[in-house]
Amino acid sequence: MTYDLVITNGTCVTASDIAALDIAIQNGKIALLAPSGSLAGASAVQVIDAEGGYITPGGIDCHVHLQEPAMFGGKGRSADNYESGTRSAIAGGNTTIIAFAPLQKDEISPLAAVHATHALARGNCYCDYSFHLLMGNASATALQELPRLKHEEGISSVKIYMTYKALQLRDNEILSILLTARAHEILTMIHAENGDVLDWLTDQLELAQKISPKYHSNSRPPILEAEATNRAIALSSLVANTPILLVHVSDPQAALRIREAQTQGQPVFAETCPQYLFLTRDDLDRPGFEGAKYICSPPPRRKEDQGAIWRGLQNGTFSVLSSDHCPFSFDDEEKGKKSCITREHPEGHFRHVPNGLPGVETRLPLVVSASKLRLTEFVAVASTNPAKLYGLYPRKGALLPGVSDADLTIWYPEGKFGGDLTLKNDMLHHDADYTPYEGRKLGNWPRYTVLRGKVVWDRDNGGVVGEKGYGKFVKRGSAVDVWDKVDEAGFDLEEL
């Protein structure tokens, strides 16, 4: 037997176990896990000596924005397309991303939205990919098409917004979406910030001429996130405990409310992101317009809030850690952060700064380097739980012989960099002109990324060695271990 690829001398880490194992790969799948050293002499087309480094299931970044129209404040356009975004993803140890197929307020067909997004991604991706439907309206046609989206297109999640003028849904619209999603085992992701209040606060700040980047944070204080999180949880409980996933949670009070709902047995899941672990509201107050580099929503909070967010990752309040990669270049007056600079506002205006940060490539190295999660916890939130919640498991997010795709991240042996690895934007493979993490010291970086048995990232020998177009669309099913606990009786007006 000649294997396609054998990896020796590594320590495999899954969401539950750590063991020194050799890995044999055949036809894009994990073929065999064997005691360390036992595959040293095996016949193989290619052999990688992991030199004692950790081997984890490939990263799954389940929250990535690419090539979407301007919807997140201002008129910016994404710095990355599917080509550069997925190139950046593999260089940061990811093998799958889930991006968004946007259905805008005035559009009626989710199927058309998905087909249009396929046309942008097809043939352009370096890693495997799927889409969430970004649902900007709850029209009858949009709701009617959701079953086909799930059963024909393999799209088992939608994201809805409680803020942004272009996307905000009213509570009745949210309820209609939840009810339809429940009937077809579609997971509803919710961006929870109170849009009406933050619009009012933005007007107040504008009247007081407080418009520099730092006031983005004042326009979206934590109470707006906690209130909307509580409301989202209440709405999901009203429609017979429909499963929801609160995205990019930044506020400890919101996390506490989520924890409470989970303790009560409600199917409430949550995500956080590196910006809430490593950045603070003080970053928005950097000199001049520099603070705009850190404008995202919700905004980074106070330094003292970060501990609670790390704890939420450790104790399972947050099932997933994703990047919310939403890149806008800084020094770009047409489509970047500086597109808000006008004759009227020569210093810019936070209201018009496109919201979002680049981060698909830095998510895994930043969190591994911080050493605050057990390695098994890290694998759970960065790969296995996203695969389970978004219906990719066990094909993705696991190392199960004969079952899982051979999607791997191979890390450098510990101590390799001795504190000398400094993050700089010119190391990265996105098309944004900055990283919000410039100058951070890192302890590790993915050395190899393997996608379906093929090395696509080899940091020391060529960098990105995968090919554009090798990444394929992956159809997804229902979330694992979620729907079986949902009461079959469903929503009953008599029970209210």
| Min separation Cβ 191 and ligand URP, Å | 5
CB 33 within 8 A of CB 399: yes
445 makes contact with ligand URP (CB under 6 A): no
Of 324 and 361, nearer to Zn ion (C-beta) is: 324
Question: Alpha-carbon distance 445 to 365, whole Å?
Answer: 5
| Min separation Cβ 483 and Zn ion, Å | 24
CA atoms within 13 A on the CB side of 328: 30
Q: Which residues pair with 128 in a beta bridge?
A: 96
Q: Which does 72 bind (CB under 5 to 8 A by kind): ligand URP, Zn ion, none?
A: ligand URP
Read off the tokens for 417. 């960099």
| Min separation Cβ 154 and Zn ion, Å | 21
Q: Which does 355 bind (CB under 5 to 8 A by kind): Zn ion, ligand URP, none?
A: ligand URP
Of 8 and 306, nearer to ligand URP (C-beta) is: 306
Per-residue string for binding with ligand URP, 357-396, x by CB under 6 A?
----------------------------------------
Residue of 4, 21, 67, 72 that binds ligand URP (CB under 6 A): 72
Contact stretch for Zn ion (CB under 5 A) within 215-223, 301-309, 322-330, 466-474: 322-330
Of 195 and 466, nearer to ligand URP (C-beta) is: 195
Burial class (CB in 10 A: 0-12, 13-18, 19+), 434: buried
355 makes contact with ligand URP (CB under 6 A): yes
Per-residue string for binding with ligand URP, 228-257, x by CB under 6 A?
--------------------x---------
| Min separation Cβ 484 and ligand URP, Å | 29
**Binding residues among 283-302 for Zn ion as defined by CB under 5 A:** none
- Using DSSP bridges, classify how beta strands 408-411 and 446-451 pair: parallel, antiparallel or unpaired: antiparallel
338 makes contact with Zn ion (CB under 5 A): no
Question: Alpha-carbon distance 490 to 231, whole Å?
Answer: 20
| Min separation Cβ 71 and ligand URP, Å | 8
Of 24 and 249, nearer to ligand URP (C-beta) is: 249
- Binding residues for Zn ion, rule CB under 5 A, total 2
Residue of 193, 324, 361, 407 that binds Zn ion (CB under 5 A): 324
Of 326 and 389, nearer to ligand URP (C-beta) is: 326
Per-residue string for binding with ligand URP, 307-326, x by CB under 6 A?
-----------------x-x
Question: Alpha-carbon distance 141 to 268, whole Å?
Answer: 27
Of 325 and 388, nearer to ligand URP (C-beta) is: 325
Of 191 and 388, nearer to Zn ion (C-beta) is: 191
Q: Which of 50, 33, 9, 16 is nearest to 400 (CA)?
A: 33
**Binding residues among 140-199 for ligand URP as defined by CB under 6 A:** 191
Torsion, CA 296, CA 118, CA 410, CA 316, rounded to 10: 50
Torsion, CA 32, CA 377, CA 133, CA 446, rounded to 10: -60
Of 150 and 248, nearer to ligand URP (C-beta) is: 248
Q: Which residues pair with 271 in a beta bridge?
A: 320
Of 26 and 194, nearer to ligand URP (C-beta) is: 194
Residue of 296, 380, 398, 450 that binds ligand URP (CB under 6 A): 296
| Min separation Cβ 296 and ligand URP, Å | 3
- Binding residues for ligand URP, rule CB under 6 A, total 10
CB 95 within 8 A of CB 438: no
Of 7 and 296, nearer to ligand URP (C-beta) is: 296
| Min separation Cβ 163 and ligand URP, Å | 8
412 makes contact with ligand URP (CB under 6 A): no
191 makes contact with Zn ion (CB under 5 A): yes
Q: Which does 220 bind (CB under 5 to 8 A by kind): Zn ion, ligand URP, none?
A: none
Residue of 139, 217, 297, 369 that binds ligand URP (CB under 6 A): 297
Of 107 and 260, nearer to ligand URP (C-beta) is: 107
| Min separation Cβ 41 and ligand URP, Å | 49
Of 248 and 452, nearer to ligand URP (C-beta) is: 248
Question: Alpha-carbon distance 113 to 103, whole Å?
Answer: 6
* Residues in touch with ligand URP (CB under 6 A): 65, 72, 191, 248, 296-297, 324, 326, 355-356
* Residues in touch with Zn ion (CB under 5 A): 191, 324
